[in-house]
Amino acid sequence: MIEVGEYKVKEGLYYTKEHEWAQVLDDGTVLVGISDYAQKELGDVAYVELPEVGKEVSQGDVLCEIESVKAVSEVYAPVSGEVVEVNGELEDSPEKINEDPYGAWIAKIKPSNLEEDLKNLMTAEQYAEYLKSL
Amino acid sequence: MKRVHLFDWHKEHAKKVEEFAGWEMPIWYSSIKEEHLAVRNGVGIFDVSHMGEIFFRGKDALKFLQYVTTNDIAKPPAISGTYTLVLNERGAVKDETLVFNMGNDTYMMVCDSDAFEKLYAWFISIKRAIEQYTDLDLEIENKTYDMAMFSIQGPKARDIAMELFGIEINQLWWFQAKEVELDGIKMILSRSGYTGENGFEVYFEDANPYHPDESKRGKPEKALYVWEKILEVGAKYGIKPCGLGARDTLRLEAGYTLYGNETKELQLLSTDIDEVTPLQANLEFAIFWDKEFIGKEALLKQKERGLPSKMVHFKMVDKGIPRAGYKVYKDGKEIGEVTSGTMSPLLGIGIGIAFVKPEYAVPGVEIEVEIRGQKKKAVTVSPPFYDPKKYGAFREE
């Protein structure tokens, strides 16, 4: 983990400016979640409206909504592709996102344009620098 | 941006500091949930110095306040407070306030942080209008930036009041107040709050480093002393500093209206009755009909014509969190709109307040709330949302 002040950045993941992370798995699919910074900004996550399996998204599209006690926030797709799996555990335990932001993945995407999409994302080191600039 | 006396303390200790109604305020220190549950199960302290305080002094102060607010503030002797509403000339709520009769022809109005400026201007304009015809013995002063106000809430608040001030708050009636002293610092203590729990609030004047009037700036020594003293004494009860996030979830669980959400002036142009009136917001208990007051005629007219919409509380049956602005349906037909909504930290379900066609504003009606295009089931209920035998000021010990 890279630490930027109180925020942790997990190495080996890709990040967006909107604070989603993407983890490319060995089978070529991509797990998506939100960063430690994002969960701290949101506060207590109260509800995750998981995307539907089969949903097609382009990079930057709204993937789903996360609600904190206080407000609704959108989660953007870090890569284009099809949602092939969602983390059903979050339905009953949305607080996992606060407890373990890099473990509590939201959706698994089968990417359609991975190589190009990754060029638009930040590495952990770049994201850590980005956080310092905020 | 406006700031309270202890802004620097909050900035250092709160995880989230954000703008609220023009004030830069602590939203949460640790987490809304933790702070919320601390108040329901133990005790929490809120710095609500952003609340407005307007003072009225003089022989005509009482008469004036009776005319510009809805409730009867003549009855209780000093020091006691009355929940009373300020209405506009067409009956809509300008603000929900507490007016304390301080004795010696002095009254303190505690009003909302986003309403005190418009109220002050409103009262001054009415005073000037009257003074065109007759002399008034009345001085109106806005002391919002000078007054610190802390709210101590929860079942253990009583123990703190006893230990620090030697006062049994359960012997005060709701909104009754007393002058108290803490290590030489004089303040007003009232049994009051906005969480549904037992509790008290203290008010006192202190220098504010962020006072808009530079000549009144200074170190908030008293405020810091009182705040830290209460935290110190409250430590054995697990006291937590609480932000505005928990303040909102607590008031909503208790079913209380919030100015700006439930009560407001819509400034409707095409009618002689403005919305939202106290009749629509279930606040008729705060209207004393046996006196003249601004907005009374409009309310009488609205009673005759019927209400265009009425407030009702509801809880979600389906998963989902209602939010202000979401549409409400009955059997597929739109019947109203949500004005406040959240996830209840205590109950773990979505709860809210809506304004709907009056025939549906009763408990037990199955409704739907549209959340992101999907109609989710909900049911209307009577407040509070929690079991009043287990939580709140009137819980069974």
- Whether the pLDDT of residue B38 is over 80: the answer is yes
Q: What pLDDT does residue A6 have?
A: 93
CB contact (8 A) between residue A69 and residue B15: no
Asked if A46 has any chain B CB less than 8 Å from its own CB, the reply is yes
Please state whether the peptide bond connecting residue B276 to the residue before it is cis, i.e. omega within 30 degrees of 0. Answer: yes
Q: What pLDDT does residue B99 have?
A: 97
**Average pLDDT value over all residues in chain B:** 97
Residue A89: band (very low, low, confident or very high) from pLDDT cuts 50, 70, 90: very high
Element (H, E) at B12: helix B7-13
Asked if A62 has any chain B CB less than 8 Å from its own CB, the reply is no
**Cβ contacts (< 8 Å) between B321 and chain A: which residues?**
46-47, 67, 72
Asked if A129 has any chain B CB less than 8 Å from its own CB, the reply is no
Please tell me what DSSP assigns to residue B362: S
**Cβ contacts (< 8 Å) between B342 and chain A: which residues?**
69-70
Q: How are beta strands B44-47 and B185-190 bridged, if at all?
A: unpaired
- Whether the pLDDT of residue B76 is over 90: the answer is no
Nearest residue to B358 via CA among B304, B311, B313: B311
Residues A93-113 pLDDT 10s:
999 999 999 999 999 999 999
Residues B236-255 pLDDT 10s:
999 999 999 999 999 999 99
Contacts of residue B228, defined as CB under 8 A and 6 or more positions apart, other chains included, come to none
User: Which of B27, B32, B37, B251 to probe by mutation at the A interface, max A CB count within 10 Å?
Assistant: B32
Tokens of B46: 């809120």
Residues A46-82 pLDDT 10s:
999 999 999 999 999 999 999 999 899 999 999 999 9
**What angle (nearest 5°) sits at the alpha carbon of residue B361, between those of residues B359 and B367?**
95
The rounded distance, in Å, linking the Cα atoms of B345 and A46 is 9
Residues B172-223 pLDDT 10s:
999 999 999 999 999 999 999 999 999 999 999 999 999 999 999 999 999 9
Q: What is the ipTM of this complex?
A: 0.88
B182: phi then psi, degrees, rounded to nearest 5: -125, 110
Nearest residue to B327 via CA among B293, B290, B285, B371: B371
Residue B281: band (very low, low, confident or very high) from pLDDT cuts 50, 70, 90: very high
Collapse the DSSP code of A29 into the 3-class scheme (helix H, G, I; strand E, B; otherwise coil) and give the result: coil
Distance, CA of A40 to chain centre? 14
Q: In this complex, which of B15, B245, B372 lies closest to A70 when CB atoms are compared? A: B245
CB contact (8 A) between residue B32 and residue A91: no
Q: In this complex, which of A43, A71, A91 lies closest to B31 when CB atoms are compared? A: A43
Q: In this complex, which of A47, A70, A72 lies closest to B32 when CB atoms are compared? A: A70
A88: phi then psi, degrees, rounded to nearest 5: -60, -20
- Whether the pLDDT of residue B293 is over 90: the answer is yes
The rounded distance, in Å, linking the Cα atoms of B12 and B242 is 14
Please tell me what DSSP assigns to residue B239: -
Tokens of A109: 């995407």
Q: What pLDDT does residue B78 have?
A: 82
The rounded distance, in Å, linking the Cα atoms of B227 and A18 is 37
Across the A:B interface, residue pairs with CB atoms under 8 Å apart total 43
**H helices, E strands: number in chain A:** 5, 12
CB contact (8 A) between residue A70 and residue B320: no
Longest CA–CA span in chain A (Å) reads 38
Q: What pLDDT does residue B383 have?
A: 97
Q: What pLDDT does residue B27 have?
A: 97
**For A95, which residue in chain B has the nearest alpha carbon?**
B33
Tokens of A70: 């206080």
Alpha-carbon distances of B379 from B89, B125, B197, B264, B323, rounded to whole Å: 35, 44, 25, 25, 15
Q: How are beta strands B93-103 and B23-28 bridged, if at all?
A: unpaired
Collapse the DSSP code of A126 into the 3-class scheme (helix H, G, I; strand E, B; otherwise coil) and give the result: helix
The rounded distance, in Å, linking the Cα atoms of B82 and B291 is 16
Tokens of A123: 């590495």
- Neighbouring CB atoms inside 10 A of B173's CB total 10
Q: What pLDDT does residue B397 have?
A: 73
Tokens of B192: 């009051």
Contacts of residue A131, defined as CB under 8 A and 6 or more positions apart, other chains included, come to A4, A5, A7, A9, A37
The rounded distance, in Å, linking the Cα atoms of B367 and B335 is 9
- Residue type, position B111, single letter: C
How far is B71 from chain A, CA to nearest CA, in Å? 33
Tokens of A49: 């409206």
**CB of B376 within 8 A of CB of B316?**
yes
Residues B107-151 pLDDT 10s:
999 999 999 999 999 999 999 999 999 999 999 999 999 999 999
Q: What pLDDT does residue B63 have?
A: 97
CB contact (8 A) between residue B32 and residue A72: no
Q: What pLDDT does residue B77 have?
A: 79
**CB of B144 within 8 A of CB of B21?**
no
User: Which of A6, A68, A70 to probe by mutation at the B interface, max B CB count within 10 Å?
Assistant: A70
CB contact (8 A) between residue A67 and residue B32: no
Q: In this complex, which of B32, B248, B320 lies closest to A44 when CB atoms are compared? A: B32
B175: phi then psi, degrees, rounded to nearest 5: 80, 0
Residues B335-384 pLDDT 10s:
999 999 999 999 999 999 999 999 999 999 999 999 999 999 999 999 99
Collapse the DSSP code of B175 into the 3-class scheme (helix H, G, I; strand E, B; otherwise coil) and give the result: coil
Nearest residue to B60 via CA among B139, B143, B141: B139
Tokens of B156: 């253990």
Q: What share of chain A is helix, strand, coil (3-state, %, to 5)?
A: 25, 35, 40
**Cβ contacts (< 8 Å) between A43 and chain B: which residues?**
15-16, 27-28, 31-32, 245
CB contact (8 A) between residue A69 and residue B345: yes
Q: A130: buried, middle or exposed (CB in 10 Å: 19+, 13-18, 0-12)?
A: middle
Asked if A82 has any chain B CB less than 8 Å from its own CB, the reply is no
**For A72, which residue in chain B has the nearest alpha carbon?**
B323
- Neighbouring CB atoms inside 10 A of B202's CB total 24
**For A69, which residue in chain B has the nearest alpha carbon?**
B343
Across the beta sheet with A62-68, what order do the strands follow? A45-49, A62-68, A72-76
CB contact (8 A) between residue A44 and residue B31: yes
Q: In this complex, which of B245, B320, B372 lies closest to A69 when CB atoms are compared? A: B245
**Cβ contacts (< 8 Å) between B369 and chain A: which residues?**
none
User: Which of A45, A69, A93 to probe by mutation at the B interface, max B CB count within 10 Å?
Assistant: A69
Residues A112-132 pLDDT 10s:
999 999 999 999 999 999 999
Q: In this complex, which of B33, B319, B320 lies closest to A69 when CB atoms are compared? A: B33
Nearest residue to A38 via CA among A3, A8, A77: A8
